[in-house]
């Protein structure tokens, strides 16, 4: 038996029921000796916990409070940093819109200048082509006229030669040819 059991048995009278089991005076509360020893033991344990575990618990709670405060400070700092970044992004986004508008305006002006240069170049090429075509047409007209005169002269010589040889003498024939050539030259 333990020392507590011996003390308990000595201080109280044990009551047995009909089957030989120990019974107590209440089904909720322990016997008086158990209550006294339990209270004293609980007080000793609580006192030991307060004396030895109390500083550790305070230290742990202080460390927890410091950690939570550090996390809160870090979160506030991160939030401020994110706000600054968001403001920078919003400003950059506005700058992007302005830059896009500037680039588009620049592209429009370059396109307009390229279009104007192209139109001017086409106009000069067209005028050069027209001048060249006019010159070629004039040269072709002169060449065709010369060829036509030469062909007419050849045909008229052949016709006159054929007609005159039969009816005209040589002097009259020569006069007719010269008159015809001078008329064709004057018509030109």
Q: What is the pLDDT of residues 152-178, one digit of tens each?
A: 888 888 776 776 566 667 777 788 788
pLDDT at 142: 86
pLDDT band for 2, please (50, 70, 90 cuts).
low
Q: Is 15 helix (H, G, I), strand (E, B) or coil?
A: strand
DSSP 18: T
Q: Alpha carbon 106 to chain centroid distance?
A: 20
Q: What are the structure tokens assigned to 76, written together?
A: 């506030």
Strand intervals (E) in the chain: 15-16, 22-23
> Which phi and psi angles does 31 have, rounded to 5°?
-70, 160
Q: pTM for this one?
A: 0.34
Per-residue pLDDT band at 6 (split at 50, 70, 90):
low
């Amino acid at each position: 038996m333990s020392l507590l059991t011996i003390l308990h048995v000595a201080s109280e009278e044990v009551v047995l029921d009909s089957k030989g089991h120990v019974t107590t005076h209440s089904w909720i509360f322990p016997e008086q000796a158990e209550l006294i020893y339990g209270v004293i033991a609980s007080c000793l344990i609580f006192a030991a916990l307060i004396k030895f575990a109390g500083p550790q618990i305070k230290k742990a709670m202080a460390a927890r409070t410091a950690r939570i405060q550090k996390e809160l400070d870090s979160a506030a700092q991160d939030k401020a940093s994110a706000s600054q970044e968001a403001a920078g992004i919003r400003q950059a986004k506005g700058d992007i819109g302005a830059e896009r508008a500037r680039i588009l305006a620049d592209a429009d002006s370059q396109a307009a200048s390229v279009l104007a240069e192209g139109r001017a170049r086409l106009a000069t090429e067209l005028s050069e082509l027209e001048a060249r075509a006019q010159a070629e047409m004039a040269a072709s007209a002169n060449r065709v006229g010369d060829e036509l005169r030469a062909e007419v002269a050849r045909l008229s010589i052949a016709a006159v030669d054929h007609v005159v040889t039969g009816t005209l003498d040589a002097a009259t024939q020569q006069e007719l040819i010269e008159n015809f050539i001078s008329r064709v030259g004057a018509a030109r």
